[in-house]
Amino acid sequence: MAALTEWSTFLRQSKAQFTTTGAIGPSGPFLADSLCRELRRPNRGPWKILEAGPGTGAVTRRLVRYLRPGDTLTAVEINPQLANFLKRSFRDDPSLAPYAHQVEVVEADLLHFEGKSHFDTGVCGLPFNNFSLDLTQRLMETLERLLKPGSLLSYFEYLAIRRARLAWGKGEAREILGRLDAYLVNRERLLGEQPEVIWWNLLPAVCRRLRMPARA
Ligand SMILES: C[S@@+](CC[C@H](N)C(=O)[O-])C[C@H]1O[C@@H](n2cnc3c(N)ncnc32)[C@H](O)[C@@H]1O
């Protein structure tokens, strides 16, 4: 029943706000688990964890399983309906309520989220392939500002979607996507670590990991 409500809420918002939602459904458990891998590190101290774009909480549900005493999770969601859904879930859903004291769901555009070197790791669900190069760059710079140097940012994209759209796209749309592709490929080349392909997901996806650079 909870899964049905989650799916129907996600689908409604995906239809209403496809550019920011950018997915046909919530992430599956294998993708969610891959995105949470950094939290399973042995012998880590209490961490401040950032989740950008939690949606209905498909990844959040997995993240909370890996919270240790003293950890906090801040989930920043731009869509008020989705942010409220997630806030309600932490209040009413018996599988999430026990973690509520460690979790803050913030309704905000990540771009306006203040702070510097605040988080020890970040998990990001933002659909960069739906965004312009300018917006993607600003969001990546925001994530880099919020995360500590040396920390890991994990994010995902659907497998080969960008490449397929580049191959079949035309005109200005193709040029825009080409610039985005060059930027993301270069980030991966500079900062990327061990991407992981997740076949068991609707749609198959790749979990990408970027190690945040030291600051000058
Ligand atoms: C592809 S969905 C991912 C949802 C969820 N993490 C999952 O994997 O099922 C992208 C989410 O990012 C949110 N989002 C998009 N742009 C955002 C922004 N600038 N700041 C915060 N959240 C944003 C959307 O509203 C949506 O919930």
Task: Output the average pLDDT for the chain.
Answer: 95
Distance CA 92, CA 104 (A): 15
Are residues 69 and 98 in contact, defined by beta-carbon separation less than 8 angstroms? no
Cβ–Cβ contacts within 10 Å for residue 166, how many? Answer: 15
* Measured CA distances, 35 to 154, 167, 209 (Å): 6, 28, 9
Q: Architecture of 2-210 per CATH?
A: 3-Layer(aba) Sandwich (3.40)
Residues 70-83, mean pLDDT to the nearest whole number = 98
Beta carbon of 127 within 6 Å of any ligand 1 atom = yes
Ligand 1: residue whose CA is nearest its atom 3: 125
Buried-exposed string 71-110: b where 16+ CB fall within 10 A, e elsewhere: bbbbbbbbbeebbebbbebbeebeebeebeebbebebeeb
Ligand 1 pocket test: pick from 8, 9, 36, 78 the residue with the most ligand atoms within 8 Å of its Cβ. 78
Provide the residue ranges of all domains of the chain, joining segments of one domain with +.
2-210
State residue 24's pLDDT score.
85
Judged against a pLDDT cut of 70, whether residue 191 lies above it is answered with yes
State residue 215's pLDDT score.
76
Beta carbon of 202 within 6 Å of any ligand 1 atom = no
Q: What is the pTM of this model?
A: 0.97
Beta carbon of 83 within 6 Å of any ligand 1 atom = no
Write the CB contacts of 39 (distance below 8 Å, at least 6 apart in sequence): 47, 49, 63, 66, 67, 121
Residues 190-210, mean pLDDT to the nearest whole number = 97
Residues 149-168, mean pLDDT to the nearest whole number = 94
Are residues 121 and 47 in contact, defined by beta-carbon separation less than 8 angstroms? yes
